[in-house]
């Protein structure tokens, strides 16, 4: 077996594994609203989504915060600093909306 064919088989294995992971599924087929707006809009949208969702296991606040944190963590270093500031502000706004 040549090194290129071994490399290709490893890439395929990684891709198959990624398709089985819950985090990949959430990223591909999420019902969560878009988070491409202002901090206030993101917070209001996530609050509404969490309150109306029947697929959550915890309180709406925790669910909304988890969705936002998951989105921030999945973006990683690819997210611009200004976008990250906006989403961090959305966390504060979520806390205000739920109190």
Mean pLDDT of 45-57: 87
pTM: 0.66
pLDDT tier, 2 (very low <50, low <70, confident <90, very high otherwise): low
Alpha-helical regions (H) of 1-99: 3-20, 22-28, 39-52, 60-75, 81-98
**Lowest-confidence range among 25-29, 54-58, 59-63, 83-87?**
25-29
Mean pLDDT of 67-71: 88
Neighbours of 27 (CB within 10 A): 13
Q: Where are the domains of the chain?
A: 31-98
> How far does CA 52 lie from the centroid of its chain?
18
Whole-number Å distance between alpha carbons of 93 and 39? 7
């Amino acid at each position: 077996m040549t090194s290129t064919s071994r490399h290709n088989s490893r890439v395929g294995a990684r891709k198959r594994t990624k398709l089985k992971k819950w985090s990949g599924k959430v990223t591909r087929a999420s019902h969560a609203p878009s988070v491409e707006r202002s901090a206030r809009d993101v917070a209001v949208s996530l609050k509404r989504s969490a309150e109306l969702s029947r697929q959550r296991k915890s309180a709406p606040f925790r669910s909304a915060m988890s969705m936002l944190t998951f989105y921030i963590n999945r973006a990683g270093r690819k997210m611009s600093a200004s976008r990250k500031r906006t989403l961090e502000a959305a966390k504060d706004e979520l806390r205000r909306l739920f109190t």
